[in-house]
Amino acid sequence: MSTTISSEQVSQIVNNLHQDPFEVLGCHPFEQNGNEKTWAVRAYLPKAQAAWVICPTQRKEYPMQSAHHPHFFECTIELPELNNYQLRIHEGERERVIYDPYAFRSPKLTEYDLHLFSEGNHHRIYEKLGAHLTEIEGIKGVYFALWAPNARNVSVLGDFNNWDGRFHQMRKNNNSVWELFIPEIDVGANYKYEVKNWEGHIYEKSDPYGFQQEVRPKTASIVADLDTYQWKDGEWMEKRRHSDPLAQPISVYEVHLGSWMHASSREKPALIGKEGESVPVSEWNTEARFLSYYELAHKLIPYVKEMGYTHIELLPIAEHPFDGSWGYQVTGYYAPTSRFGTPEDFMYFVDKCHENGIGVLVDWVPGHFPKDGHGLAFFDGTHLYEHADSRKGEHKEWGTLVFNYGRNEVRNFLVANALFWFDKYHIDGIRVDAVASMLYLDYCRKDGEWVTNDYGGRENLQAVDFLRQVNSVLFNYFPGILSIAEESTAWPMVSWPAYMGGLGFNLKWNMGWMHDMLDYFSMDPWFRQFHQNNITFSMWYHHSENYMLALSHDEIVHGKSNMIGKMPGDEWQNMPTFAPCFPICLPILVRKPCL
């Protein structure tokens, strides 16, 4: 029986060196002496002492024998068809019965999917890559797919295989995407990818397209189903689709969910979850804990509504490892942070906002990402998502890496990610962070630390093309939304349509106005009479863009003081100045744009 496969092939499987384990493992038909069709069933089962193949049609077991290796098993079965067979595995003192992952050969990714992805035009690639509940040949499980073209080998790690990369080795498809269907695992399973480079170094990575991650400091991705939540905002969504957001008043409350309000860890979680049910909240070891998405829905939304705001802007809620970053160093672009609950919990929050007439904006960070080992950095043993040249691929001042916008698959990752938040979470707009850092190759770089574009200039032409593409795609799929640029330079036509040569946003933050106004109000009232130009200067350029007048978190972080702290004098003096000027901290106001 061992003659059906070579020892070299077995060695490749045992040492996780085979890029298509389906060529060896699973069931393989062959003719034997002109008899009835015969199947060779092979399995690599680390830790197993014995194994049997269970045929569902015959209700019969076939013992497997070791071939070339103590944990590599094989047997032959004479049957016309062999479908949905199981393996009974004896490991130490326990036995288990599983469906063989290598019996399911149907790929979920089509050639057309791979073609669009390689072009950078697969707008819903998040429905293909990542971890997805699916059913193949009547068996339910999870299909895993990962883009890692330069990896030597990739395996799925998880609590379902004791985090052992030998069990679920993936197949490389079309020389770029690795895939594997694992039967009988479900929502809630924790997993990572074990990525091995050509030098044999191993990296354990979270899923770039993972929909949920463990609460930090843990870093595993979690299998999630985003299609079970029953949305109740159909009327809101239909009205938005037929409206022009620039033709109506907008007043936005900017909030960082992690610091807006805390609850005591000893306080019994009170809230009001779905239909009045009590909501379980994670246990915390500190004296204070974050509010959950459910609690925020019942505390933040009434406050925002009472204050008269039309929108809530959330600082980045995509998964990030460090609380102190405020979310601007993202490691899970497709996962709302688990600090506050599950993806379904965040859907509930957005749904409640819409029920109360409040739009939801989310800060989006396509300009850079952190170097954390479980994230996108050096993903497949090469500079996959970032530029290899640090003069292009690193923000040394921030300690982060820059996306390679010239690589189609990377651009696709980001374009699809922007679309994803509107598609799956029904958000109403994005505020794109640090656009200036994307537009200029010399941003925060000294001479000799950056390289020019092909024409000798400082403009990042690939980033410009990316921004135009992402905005064109968003407004094509979701009319009536907002796309706001946090851009602090004089780059022209930021809020002009892409087909007219603009970047495609429909609003731009007026950072100059914010700086001038705060500088003005920080002066003693007597001196303001000599600085009225601070108030009027923005009139010189206000017609060139659709501007938002913003008083944002940028002006209170890094020791800049809060709004009332910027007023001159002591508390007795600055309160009368503050009160009529700023009715509340951190509003974002927008004038009716000049169209």
* Residues taking part in catalysis: 433, 486
In the block, tokens 């922007």 appear at 418
Q: Where are the beta strands (DSSP E) in 150-236?
A: 153-158, 171-173, 177-183, 190-196, 202-205, 221-222
Q: Are residues 337 and 212 in contact, defined by beta-carbon separation less than 8 angstroms?
A: no
Q: Looking at this protein, which amino acid is placed at residue 179?
A: E
DSSP secondary structure, 291-345, as one string:
PPHHHHHHHHHHHHHHTT-SEEEESP-EE-S-GGGTT-S-SEEEEE-TTS--HHH
Task: Map residue 101 onto helix, strand or coil.
Answer: helix
Supply the angle between the helices 343-355 and 408-425 in degrees, to the nearest 10. 60
Strand partners, 63: 52
CB-based contacts of 184, cutoff 8 Å, min separation 6: 98, 99, 139, 140, 141
Q: What are phi and psi of 565, to 5 degrees?
A: -70, -15
**Residue 542: partners with Cβ closer than 8 Å, 6 or more residues away:** 510, 591, 594
Spell out a b/e string for 224-252, using b for 16 or more CB atoms within 10 Å of the CB, else e.
bbbeebeeebeebeeebeeeebbeeebeb
Dihedral sign, CA of 380, 223, 131, 408? negative
Identity (one letter) of the amino acid at 570? D
Cα–Cα distance between 463 and 405 in angstroms, integer? 6
